[in-house]
Each structure stands twice: as structure tokens, then as C-alpha cells.
Structure 1
Amino acid sequence: MASKLFYNDIIPLNRDKHRTLHIDSSKGDASFAEHTHYVPLAASEFYQASKDYPILFAGEGDSAGAIALLGLRENENLFVSDDKRWIKGTYVPAFVRRYPFILARNETQSDFTICFDQSYAGFSDDSGDALFDEEGKESSYLGGVIDFLNRYTRELEMTAGFVSWLQEHDLLATRTLRVSDRFGRNFFLNDFRVVDEEKLAKLEDNQLGELHKKGWLGLIYAHLISLGCITRLPEHLEPPEETVEDITIQ
């Protein structure tokens, strides 16, 4: 799955080059995500995210993962309002909350480097939270960012294990999902996968016990419950300006 999506100009954070860099979140908004119709989701987010978004699975093999579906058309996020803010009262996925920072593996793939999207409007040299102090040491703000990024990375690694288990036991089935809105438009979601409930019910007791012991059985049920959110996505759509044909996204 894509791991960068709305990141445009990623560069490594350097304590010497960026000694005076500040970030003022009040100058930013969620416009960076307004053309993103899905984002990766960590398993630890399933319970909260399932209240607002359909949780689906995408990709194959090592690239497979969980996503939160944010829209019914490509390049459209139904959860960014007209004022460019995330819709109040809905869960904001960690993938969105970590922006404009990101951890990137170094050339040897043995460690991570803290990077940021320098195109983010909230950066300046004199306003907001400093990333480094006068001595070039990490500020408390940056320390919090690093802690969040590290925890999120570990959670994604755990999620990869969960999705791998589902694949190994052939529990993910490809479905074409159809959603209709009140204006008569039909939206088809292709190449997304969901847990096959019939195969889930046929698991051996020891396999169910393994799921329960790992804490993954609840994640499966959160995913299945979240599918009901698909029918609520059209509520956020604006009326069409003209007659349109059926819409398909992948």
C-alpha cells in the first residue's frame, strides 16, 4: 500500500540545518488530505475507527494492510469539510495525525530517519513550537512527535502480522461493494478485501484460540461491524451538477 499519499516534499530533519524551525499547527488545516479517499490504518485504531469508517483490506502479500475508506470516488475525502477541517466528532486516523512528520528507513533498512514534508504551511523560523532548543537538542514538542512516530510504527508492524495471519489462513475474500446515494448514483468499490465470515466460522478451536490470545478476534469483529459505515458514506455527498454514470474506484 502507498505509505506517503499526501506527502509532497519529504526531506530528513537535520538538527543543524533546521535548528530554528518551528511548527504552528494553527496555520495548517486538513487540506493536505482532501484528495485522499483512503488511509492506512493500524489495528490499534480499529475500535475507534469502526464507528466512522469502513475498515477494508487492500494489497497482496507483504504489501497488504488495513485501510480506512474515506470516500466513494478517487481523490475525494468526504471527511474534510468545506472549511478544510476534519469533520468534527469523527475519529482522525493516526496516519493523518502524524502529518507533516514521517519515519523513513535509511539506506541500509536497519534504522529510521525522522523526515518531514517541508511544503506544510505551518512551518516557519519564528512562530509556533520549536523543534530544537538553542543548543540544538530536541525540544519537548519534537520528543513527543518522535514518541508518537515510534509507537505508530510498532503498531503498523503488529498490524502487518495480523493481516499476514488472515492471508495465511485464507480468511480474506475479494468483494465488489456497491453503494447507492439518494441521487440515484451507484458507486462500486473494487479490489478491496473483507474477512470471509463463512471461513471464519469454520476455523479450528486452536486457531480461534490463537486469534483470541493475540487479541485479534476482536479486531475482526470491529472490521465486520465497520462495514455498516459504507452505507453512511453517501450522506456526505453533494448533489450532482449533472447526470453522471456509475462510479468505480479501486
Structure 2
Amino acid sequence: MAITASAERENTIVPVTPGRHGPRRWRRFSSYAFARSLQDVPIVMAELEPAASALPLAFRQTPSGWEVVALLGLSPATRGLFVTASGTWRGTYVPSALRAYPFVADDSGADGKATLMIDEASGLITDDPADEPFFEGTAQPSEALAQVIAFFQTRAASRHETLRAAGALAEAGLLTRWTPSHGMSEADASGYWSVDQAALGAVPENELAKLWQAGALRLAQSQLVSLHHLGWIARCAAAGAATPKAQIAYPQPMDPSGDIASFLSALSEAQAADLDQRS
């Protein structure tokens, strides 16, 4: 799943279908409060450098392969550091998986195809005629929904590149279990992996070309550089920047007069920027 939520939240994330959402509507989010409960969020190659410049990155093994995630906290107690009390994003880069909320993509299927999902507990599914319809007619996605689907399709293509690059690092024996940083326990670090810098420096010259072609060297260097953000997160946590659980609130419905075009423009601009970085 593009966004890993708590078990309670996962129960509310369902596929978008004409049968369930045909007559209903949706509106864009106005707060990143939904991200306060997240420990990490997947990152793809198209956004690698801007993500690494703003967030610590780690590797995690999944049924689909090795994925790259951006850490949003060092432990459950420090989640929410990147979201202010008013719901704005505190970091300098917003991971692409968070940009289209309440929509997410489930790419865990055996066929490798992504299924468009939506968080029904988001408060953003409505029956207000002023909001955006899911479908036109009986089963045709509306223009707005089609653009959301296209956004996730573009991201899915980059995800395959990410799995390939991260898999190449793992196959070459260049990943090592995450060493708990300040503010993390062994349990907090469990499941995360990092590039083994010593092993990377000892890669035989004849193997470097293969790693380069897979995007693995670019990924390795970005991940190592991103680790410098761990100190910032630890300092913020120590200063009490994380939002107490009692203050956590999911996004409230927007003013019906809000223009959905701005949401779609943001998706288009983000997608274009990601593609420019790859060219």
C-alpha cells in the first residue's frame, strides 16, 4: 500500500468501485493531519533526490521486493514531527504518496497491478453536489478521478525502478540491518535496513557498471546522505515538537466553494517535476 497506516485506519481503506462510490463525491484534503499517524511512507526513484534532501531514507523488505521508505519518526512516540498543529507540512518536501490523499494505491496484488483505494474515514467522501463525482454515468471515471489514476500509474512505473535498484543492492550484499540511532530502540529499528558503506566501498570494479545501470549506486548514495536528517528528527523529538495523541485530528471537510482544479494542478505539477528530474 502506498501509505502504511495503523491497523485501525487500514480497515477504512477500500477499493474505489462504481458499486460503492458510483453516486458519491469527494473533495481535496486541506490538512496533512492524516500523516501524523504514519511511521514511514514509501518513496520512488522519481523523487529520490528531493526526498533524500529532506527526509531520512531506509530500506524495507516486502512481499513485492525491497522498497525505499522515508522515516517520518524514529519511534511511535515521535510520529507527527513533520506536521504542525494546524495541519501544514513542516518539511521541505512532501512525499508523492501523500499528495493525493484520501486516495492511495494498493500494489500488493500478485499481478503487480495497482488498485486505486480511498480512505473512507477521511471525511472527504461526500454527497455534496458541489464536490467532484467519482464516476460519470454508471462506471466511467470522472475527469478528476482519471487524473488521479494517471498520477498513481506514473508513480507505479517509478516504483518498479525503485524495486529493481533496491533489489540490486540487496543481491550484491550491500544492505545491512538498521543500527538504532539516538531516540530509537531495537524494536523501533526492526525491519529497516541501510546501505553498508564499507561493503559499498569494497565492490569490485567490474560489478560497479551493473549496479550503476540498475540505479543502485544513485540510490545508495542518496540513502547514505539522507541519514544526516536523523539528528534533526532526534532534536525535534527531544524538544517536544511531536503532536500529542490527544491533539491528533483528521482533516475537516473543506469549504464547498474550494476549487478542485487546484488539487489536480498540484498533482500535475508534482508529476511533471518528478519526470523532469528523471530526464
The TM-score range, normalised by the shorter chain, is: 0.7 to 0.9
What per-residue deviation string (whole Å, max 9, x for no partner) do you get for residues 27-63 of structure 1?
x422222121211222222201111111111237755
Q: What is residue 114 of structure 1 aligned with on the other side?
A: 116
The yes-or-no answer on 1:161 pairing with 2:164 is yes
| Structure that is richer in helix per residue | 2
Structure 1 pair 107/237, CA: closer, same or farther in 2 (3 Å)?
Answer: closer
- Match of 1:223, SS state, is helix
Contact residue 165 and residue 215 of structure 2 kept, 8 A: no
Find the counterpart in structure 1 of residue 261 from structure 2.
none
* Aligned-pair CA distance for 1:163: 1.6
CA separation of 1:82 and 1:73: change in aligned 2, threshold 3 A? same
> How many Å separate the matches in 2 of 1:70 and 1:106?
22
Matched residues, number: 232
- Highest relative contact order (Cα 8 Å, sep 6+), 1 or 2? 2
Deviation at 1:134, TM superposition (A): 4.8
Post-superposition offset of 1:23: 1.8
Find 2:47's aligned residue among 32, 45, 48: 45
Q: Which residue of 1 aligns with 2:249?
A: none
Give how far 1:110 is off. 6.7
Deviation at 1:17, TM superposition (A): 4.3
Task: Specify whether residues 52 and 103 from structure 1 end up closer, same or farther in structure 2 by C-alpha distance, changes over 3 A only.
Answer: closer
**Structure 2 unmatched ranges of 5 or more:** 241-279
Gapped regions of structure 1 (runs ≥ 5): 180-185, 241-250
* C-alpha distance 61-35 of structure 1, shift in aligned 2 (>3 A): closer
Q: Which residue of 1 aligns with 2:231?
A: 231
Match of 1:190 in 2: 189
Contact kept, 8 Å, 2:64 with 2:108, in 1: the verdict is: no
SS in 2 for 1:148: helix
- Stretch moving more, 94-103 or 69-78: 94-103
1:137 partner amino acid: Q
Q: Closer, same or farther in 2 for the Cα pair 1:7/1:94, shift >3 Å?
A: farther
Whole-angstrom CA distance in 2 between matches of 1:106 and 1:174: 24
Partner Cα distance (1:15, 1:173) in 2: 45
Instruction: Tell whether the 8 Å contact from 2:166 to 2:219 is kept in structure 1 after alignment.
Output: no
CA contact (8 A) 2:102 2:124 kept: no
Percent of aligned pairs with the same amino acid: 26
Query: Is the CA contact (8 Å cut-off) linking 1:42 and 1:155 kept in structure 2?
Result: yes
Residue 216 of structure 1 corresponds to 216
RMSD: 2.8
Distance 1:2 1:17, change over 3 A: closer
